[in-house]
Structure 1
Amino acid sequence: MPYKIHTVYLVTILLLTFVAGNYLFFNDSTPQKTITRTERLFNQFSSEIVPVLNVRCNNCHALETKKYKQVEKNLDTIPFAKWEVNASGDLETLPQQRIAYTRFTYTNKKSSRKFSPLGFRNDHLASPILRVPLANNFSGVRHPEIFSSVNDPDFKKMLSWVKEEIEFRRETPPRPLTSNEKFFAKKIIPILVRKNCFGCHGLNAFNDLKMDTGIPAYKERFTDEMVSYNRKAMLGMKTRQVNLSGSISQSRQLVKNIPISDGGIIHKGGNHFFRKNDPDFKILLK
């Protein structure tokens, strides 16, 4: 009898130990380290984007430590991104990768346009990080071709990362177009495209009318921001293009594009684009 009692006690103790162990295992209150979204995005940059930069971008954008230290304080004045690499030309250490990550994600709030390489555009494809290295016939900007198309596997990695960065860092949603901007997008931009105005009046043009030629790889070609910018350019940013203080019909945007015999003024691109009775001319006048 005593032997049986001891056996029962032993079995009971074993059962209690088993239950307690399972409880502690499944209810472990030890704080688990959580990875913030910022850390996760940097990890994504480190594992997926850094290898792309090492192979495709470092030749032009990277500086060895000594040279980088010389320009470090003046990075905002350099027209394109620079980051530090090792003697072999690679982003090797985490501090070096942090520098590159910062160069891609910073926002220059001192600028009137609050420039950021991410861009925070209403379409991710318009982000400078993605648009600039894309082939010219897809991007509409001048830069050595790094990605031949949007289907390049490395470009897709960049696109995935940029999307997440923009969604995480965007402070305010994109501003919708005003009624005037919508009219410009629907009625005026098609005329500019049809008359090939962007051929002479791109962002790198040597004249006062500089417009964004759009992104051929983007379905609509022009994002809302481009529409807004181009409308302002047409009104005149440096030289007043539209006569708001007098007769609209005497605006430079109109008289430079009609024959001299119709009251036009000399236009380097020619005066053969419209006649005063053309439907397109009437839309521009409107």
Structure 2
Amino acid sequence: MRPIVLGVLAALFFAVTFVVNRAMDLAGGSWIWSASLRYIFMVPFLVIIVLTRKNLKQLFSVMKEHPRSWLVWSFIGFGLFYAPLCFAAAYSPGWLIAGTWQITIISGSLLAPLFWVTLGNKKVKGKIPLKGLMLSMIILIGIILMQIEHAQSIPLATVLLGILPVIIASFAYPLGNRKMMEICDGRLDAYQRVLGMTLASLPLWFLLSIYGLFTVGAPTLQQGIQSLIVAISSGVIATVLFFMATDMVRGNMQKLAAVEATQSIEVLFALVGEIIILSLPIPTPLSWLGILVVIIGMVIHSYVSSIEKGPATTTINA
């Protein structure tokens, strides 16, 4: 159950993203700086951590083996993940983004056929874990119940601009994460892999920052401080915890789906955060029912996965 516990802790720190990004937007900050500053601020913290662990040389050695792959999958896993989330924050409240983000529970399962797995001495196409997918649907139903009353009052434009980018992000994050696990093949720890992907995604964030300077101007001090909070909480702590959890189960698609499903509890954490920090109204009874369904779905999903005794697998290049 350790990977599940790490996944839940990661969800707690990830929830800071939805609350603080919404707060930045309400204060007039641009999504451009919310996205780029987070990853730029992450670099020094991660470098210090990896240097302290004396693993920086090994990281650069592994990155030199496939530099193009690092650039591509870091762009997808970090760039196409976080930039759309920040963009969506300009059009939707944090609770809606957090709720929509839970589509990643299903997205991660649907990505299985994109990978080959090794079963004994044979290499076969990965299969969608139907049991895990069905259990994930329980969680998704709970999320829909939580948000249904709010969603009825949202204009179509907000739905399109606030939800479609999040759907893109929901596929990009697990895809980039799994591909980098495949490339690293267990040779790097979570700190090294997060630092490597952050460094490889820096060209995108620098270009986005330049674009921001010429379009919306420089960020305010307040947005800079808020972005630093997100960088430490979500970018460093949450990402490392989540990567540690996925590394532990990277050889089993069922257990990997269960770890990714723990991120559904972000909705609960984000909801509580917005109630306390942004004075969001107390949820309706229907929303609380949705929260209960989410928790029950997570418990069932985690339990079934923990007793699953399917063969271990190792992903290889598609």
Q: Given the two structures, how large is their TM-score scaled by the length of structure 1?
A: 0.25
Highest Rg: 1 or 2?
A: 1
State TM-score, norm by structure 2.
0.23
The one of the two structures with greater contact order (alpha-carbon pairs below 8 A, sep at least 6) is 2
| Structure (1 or 2) with the greater helix fraction | 2
